[in-house]
Amino acid sequence: VEDAAMGLEPRTEGLRRNLPAAIIIGVRKGGTRALLEMLNLHPGVAVADNEVHFFDDDHNFARGLNWYREQMPMSHPKQITVEKTPAYFTSSIAPERIYRMDPGMRLLLIVRDPTERLISDYTQVFHNRVAQGKATAPFEDVAIRESRVNLEYRAVHRSLYDEHLKRWLTFFPRSHLHVVDGEQLVHNPPAEVAAAEQFLGLPSHVGPDSFYFNTSRGFFCLRNTTHERCLSESKGRPHPPVRWDVLQLLRDFFREHNHRFFRMVGQTFDWA
C-alpha cells in the first residue's frame, strides 16, 4: 500500500508462478539437493523448495497442471523455474507425462557410483527407521541374498541407471539431458555448476566465490553476498562400513549396466 501510495511499483510487480523450464529428475542420493541449491545461487533461477512429486504420483498428477504451477515459486519474467523430484528418474510414467506437458523440457540428471549411491540410499532409510524406533537389517543382509545381489531390493534397482534412462531417451533427445557428475559436484562445485548453467542457457554467475570449504562438515558450503550456509545434516552422513567381498559383488554386478549407461550418454565416469 505504501509503495503504491508513493507512486512506486509494488514489489511483487511482474512476479508470477511459472511451470518449470528444467527439472532435476534424479538420481536419489546423487546430490540432487546440492545441485538445486547451487543453481539457486543464480539470480536467473527460481527453485521449488520441496520435492513436488507431480509426475510420479497419480494422486498429485490428477490434481492437474494448475496445481503443479501453484507448487512453483514466484519468479521474475527473466528467471527460469527449476524443480527437483528424484523419484521421477525411476518412475515408469514420469518421462511420458513430462514430455506431454513440455517436449522442450530440459532434464538434469546427477549421478554417482551406483554402489555408493546404493549404500547412501540404505543409510538414509536406516536413519529414518531409527528415528521411528524401528530396527533395520545390516546392509549386507539386505543387498545380498544367497551370495548374489538382491534384485528385489528396490535401492539396487534404483542404481541401474541404464534401465531407467532408456525410458527417458525414448521421449527426449539426448540434447535435452544434462548429466552432472555427483562426485565432481562434491569436489569441484564451480565447474559442475558452470556446465549446468551453460546447459540451461544462463550467463555464468555461480563461481568459486559462491563456495567455501567447511572442514567440520567436510563439504563445500554455499555463499552469496549476505549469507553462508551448508546443506542439512542429513546430507553427507557417514556410511556404514561394508564388507569387501560384498562391495566386490556389487561392483561386478553394476559394471555392465554402467558401461551401457556410459554409451547411452556418451560420457564416462570413474566408477566403471
Residues of the binding site for 3'-phosphoadenylyl sulfate: 29-33, 112, 120, 235-239
What's the min distance (Å) between Cβ of 203 and ligand A3P? 23
Question: Judged by CB, which is closer to ligand A3P: 237, or 255?
Answer: 237
- CA angle (14 as vertex; 19, 223 as ends), nearest 5: 75
What's the min distance (Å) between Cβ of 28 and ligand A3P? 6
| 210: Cβ contacts below 8 Å, ≥ 6 apart | 38, 41, 189, 190, 193, 222, 223, 224
Question: 244 vs 148, 247, 248, 256, CA distance in Å?
Answer: 14, 5, 6, 20
Place of cell 511482474: 14
Question: Judged by CB, which is closer to ligand A3P: 14, or 138?
Answer: 138
Is 29 one of the annotated active-site residues of the chain? yes
Question: 178 vs 197, 223, 254, CA distance in Å?
Answer: 10, 24, 22
What's the min distance (Å) between Cβ of 86 and ligand A3P? 6
Question: Judged by CB, which is closer to ligand A3P: 20, or 86?
Answer: 86
Q: Taking a C-beta distance cutoff of 8 angstroms, is the pair 180, 110 a contact?
A: yes
3-state secondary structure of 82: strand
Maximum alpha-carbon separation in the chain:
75
Provide the CB-side half-sphere exposure for 201 (13 A, CA). Answer: 11
3-state secondary structure of 144: strand
Q: One of 29, 78, 84, 166 is an active-site residue; which one? A: 29
What's the min distance (Å) between Cβ of 54 and ligand A3P? 18
Q: Can you tell me the distance from the alpha carbon of 198 to that of 81, in angstroms, rounded to the nearest whole number?
A: 15
Question: Judged by CB, which is closer to ligand A3P: 199, or 220?
Answer: 220
Binding residues: 29-33, 112, 120, 235-239
Place of cell 527439472: 23
Question: Judged by CB, which is closer to ligand A3P: 220, or 261?
Answer: 220
Q: Can you tell me the distance from the alpha carbon of 23 to that of 45, in angstroms, rounded to the nearest whole number?
A: 12
What's the min distance (Å) between Cβ of 152 and ligand A3P? 22
Question: Residue 266: how many CB atoms within 10 A of its CB?
Answer: 8
Q: Taking a C-beta distance cutoff of 8 angstroms, is the pair 268, 261 a contact?
A: no
Q: Taking a C-beta distance cutoff of 8 angstroms, is the pair 51, 88 a contact?
A: no
- Residues lying near ligand A3P in the complex (CB under 6 A): 28-34, 86, 120, 185-186, 219-220, 231, 235-237
Q: Can you tell me the distance from the alpha carbon of 39 to that of 204, in angstroms, rounded to the nearest whole number?
A: 11
Provide the annotated active-site residues: 29
